[in-house]
Structure 1
Amino acid sequence: MIRRAGLILCLLSGLCATAASAATDPVLTARRAAQMLDQAALALQQADGAHDRVAALTRTISAYEEGLVAIREGLRRAAIREQAIRLEFDARREEVSRLIGVLQTMQRDPETLLLLHPSGPVGTARAGMMLSEVTPAIQARAEELRATLEELTLLRALQESAAGTLAAGLSGAQAARTRLSQAISERTDLPRRFAAEPEKLRQLLESSDTLESFASGLTSLQGDATRPATAGFDAARGALPLPVQGTLLRRYDEADAAGIRRPGLLIATRPLALVTTPAPATIRYRGPLLDYGNVMILEPAGDTLLVLAGLSQVYGEVGEVLPAGAPVGLMGGADPKVSAFLENVAEGGGSDRSETLYIELRQGNAPVDPAQWFRLTKE
């Protein structure tokens, strides 16, 4: 029995090491995410009374987006950790069963019987010495095994309880988007650099067959309006946040699967993600353009245009001057149902970033690599 117990301990050492070596704690991640969503819900309640409702609701939506991303990450880690534990148990099922059998035997039989040895008193003494050394180790392994089983139970409970948290977060985010659209429609305090010229814009749209020709034509529609200074925008080079929460899908002039190259960045985003201006800028155009979907063209500096294409909704009016971080629109798509959200996380497949935002930066009527201005991440 003692030899068998020692063998089980050696075989179980890998299992216990795996249980204790989690790089990150999915439970803590999910709990922090739930707290973030609670704080976002509180911010939503307070937003209507804020001096600047648009800014308050913009921050609220960003908080919801960050919280939902965090809880998704926590659930993803929980699912991965649960699967790892189950696979390890399956691989060592026999060893675990043998350890449990040893523990049950030790609990059932009196200690004096366990120490008896057929070779006589000397063998009994040696058995006693071995058992006194092995028993604490067996108990320690049993405690580690119990802790792993408790972790497995906690991970499963975490995933089962996430439905309510997700439902509240998704509902709150949608409510914040609705209120933001209303607040923007009622906003009257933004300064204007120039008045829109709808007829000239319409003619430019009809005569333009490329994004380049349309963007170039915009420069002639500004009239006598003073161009914004370039110093602030140039100083932010390399430090600007992306206009949307997402990850880099394709770089400047990088070919897609069809071999098509575009002089801009393609960012993968989640459905209904909020798009904001990364720097103070004037709206030069908003609306549908060619095959780019809804487009927002901003002028953050003289002779510089920032093109954001692929939005579902666009906010603001041509000529308005926006501060940094102001909302300019929403991406398309629809929030997934909670059940689909959980299933996608549990299966570990498929990306939840189903929308794409195209970013093009033009200076002097020529495209330049936007990566020189933005902080980029790529998964």
Structure 2
Amino acid sequence: GEVAQLLSVLQSIGGDPSPVVLLHPDGPMGTARAGMLLAELSPALNARAEALRRDLDNVKMLRRLQTDAAGRLQEGLAEVQGARTTLNQAMANRTELPKRFTEDPVRTAILIASSETLEGFASGLSEIATEEIEPAPVNLDGKVGDLALPVQGLVLRGANEPDAAGVSRPGIILATRPRAIVTTPAAATIRYVGPLLDLGNVVILEPQVDTLFVLAGLDVVYGEAGQVIAGGTPIGLMGAPQGGAPGALSTLSDGTGTDRSETLYIEVRQNNIPQDPQDWFRTDKDE
């Protein structure tokens, strides 16, 4: 406000080229007094002007930094999008993994068509395998309860908790970030990968004999049935809302959770009996 008032006075002076405007109406004595006052005020005004000049320079520098940061952010998003494309291609072309069995597509299609529930499908998984070899000597002894979640997220709904429609499932639902990477919690055999019932894209893992991890709701899935994969191996990506920022591949866990727009369903089955996933995974904190 002070600067605006000063500028208005200076403009009113500068708008009239006549030197008469500088004369005081009380005559020479008043003009002298006014000159002395101006002489006293000039250093302070010059100091204020210099401070304003420095502030202006700082604002210009901040604007340059902001523009540069926006450019770097755009470049980073483009690189992340490229990395996501490369990841998709690498996962799709993954052929060096050992295989415990070969999936029979005809048997798989028949099993899917005849299964009305996840329990029925899980009980018939052994029927879709051909040329099956001995199961890998993998077990979860000492790891149950301490397994990392397959994706970073917050527990949105616990096991057997009904949703708004009153439907309950024996698994948990995680709220995740868009395009989050989903990995296997432990070394496991892929028993099934693809769409299933009303669960969307599903990956069923067998970390040990008679134990299955069911992961449902992925947007992109990797791997083939029968492959043996190590713990922490990417097995898919979560989806993204329409109009989301491209390439926002996420593995971070900072934030308040308001940006977790995707959901992953996790079910654990042992001897085809549902178990509470929260007894198997670390879900007591924001992963």
- Give the C-alpha shift of residue 230 in structure 1: 5.2
Partner of 2:178, secondary structure, is coil
CA distance in 2, matches of 1:165, 1:213: 51
Counterpart in 2 of 1:236? 143
CA distance in 1, matches of 2:228, 2:153: 25
CA RMSD between the two structures: 2.8
Matching residue's letter, 1:282: T
> What TM-score, normalized to structure 1?
0.52
Matching residue's letter, 1:323: A
After TM superposition, the structure 1 = structure 2 runs for residues 210-225 of structure 1, keeping only pairs within 5 Å, are 210-222=117-129, 224-225=132-133
CA distance in 2, matches of 1:269, 1:159: 30
Counterpart in 2 of 1:187? 94
CA distance in 2, matches of 1:374, 1:172: 33
CA distance in 1, matches of 2:119, 2:217: 16
CA distance in 2, matches of 1:313, 1:337: 17
After TM superposition, the structure 1 = structure 2 runs for residues 140-151 of structure 1, keeping only pairs within 5 Å, are none
Counterpart in 2 of 1:276? 183
Could you say if the C-alpha distance between residues 182 and 278 of structure 1 is closer, same or farther in structure 2, counting changes exceeding 3 Å? Answer: same
CA distance in 1, matches of 2:260, 2:245: 15
Counterpart in 2 of 1:301? 208
Contact 1:249/1:378 (8 A) holds in 2: no
Contact 2:171/2:277 (8 A) holds in 1: yes
- Give the C-alpha shift of residue 171 in structure 1: 2.3
Contact 1:228/1:300 (8 A) holds in 2: no
Return the structure number with greater relative CO, CA threshold 8 A, min gap 6.
Answer: 2
1:337 to 245, 270, 274: 245
- Give the C-alpha shift of residue 199 in structure 1: 0.8
Equivalent pairs counted in the alignment come to: 218
Could you say if the C-alpha distance between residues 163 and 191 of structure 1 is closer, same or farther in structure 2, counting changes exceeding 3 Å? Answer: same
Could you say if the C-alpha distance between residues 206 and 186 of structure 1 is closer, same or farther in structure 2, counting changes exceeding 3 Å? Answer: same
> 1:292 and 2:191 equivalent?
no
Partner of 2:103, secondary structure, is coil
Q: Could you say which structure has the higher helix fraction? A: 1
- Give the C-alpha shift of residue 165 in structure 1: 4.7
Matching residue's letter, 1:261: S
> 1:359 and 2:272 equivalent?
no
- Give the C-alpha shift of residue 170 in structure 1: 2.7
Overall identity of the aligned pairs, in %: 55
Counterpart in 2 of 1:86? none
Contact 1:265/1:360 (8 A) holds in 2: yes
Counterpart in 1 of 2:275? 368
Matching residue's letter, 2:232: G
- Give the C-alpha shift of residue 248 in structure 1: 1.3
Could you say if the C-alpha distance between residues 160 and 361 of structure 1 is closer, same or farther in structure 2, counting changes exceeding 3 Å? Answer: farther
Could you say if the C-alpha distance between residues 225 and 312 of structure 1 is closer, same or farther in structure 2, counting changes exceeding 3 Å? Answer: same
Could you say if the C-alpha distance between residues 317 and 264 of structure 1 is closer, same or farther in structure 2, counting changes exceeding 3 Å? Answer: same
- Structure 1 residue runs without a partner (length 5+): 1-107, 109-152, 339-347
Contact 1:275/1:328 (8 A) holds in 2: yes
C-alpha distance after superposition, 1:263-321 (max 9, x if no partner): 11101111111111010011111111111111001111100111000011111111000
> 1:226 and 2:134 equivalent?
yes
2:174 to 264, 267, 271: 267
* Higher gyration radius (CA): 2
Matching residue's letter, 1:355: E
Partner of 1:374, secondary structure, is coil
Could you say if the C-alpha distance between residues 165 and 240 of structure 1 is closer, same or farther in structure 2, counting changes exceeding 3 Å? Answer: farther
Could you say if the C-alpha distance between residues 278 and 159 of structure 1 is closer, same or farther in structure 2, counting changes exceeding 3 Å? Answer: farther
> What TM-score, normalized to structure 2?
0.68
CA distance in 2, matches of 1:171, 1:202: 39
Counterpart in 1 of 2:56? none
Could you say if the C-alpha distance between residues 251 and 180 of structure 1 is closer, same or farther in structure 2, counting changes exceeding 3 Å? Answer: same
Q: Could you say which structure has the higher strand fraction? A: 2
Counterpart in 2 of 1:246? 153
Could you say if the C-alpha distance between residues 249 and 164 of structure 1 is closer, same or farther in structure 2, counting changes exceeding 3 Å? Answer: farther
- Give the C-alpha shift of residue 159 in structure 1: 8.0
- Structure 2 residue runs without a partner (length 5+): 1-43, 45-58, 247-254
Partner of 1:235, secondary structure, is coil
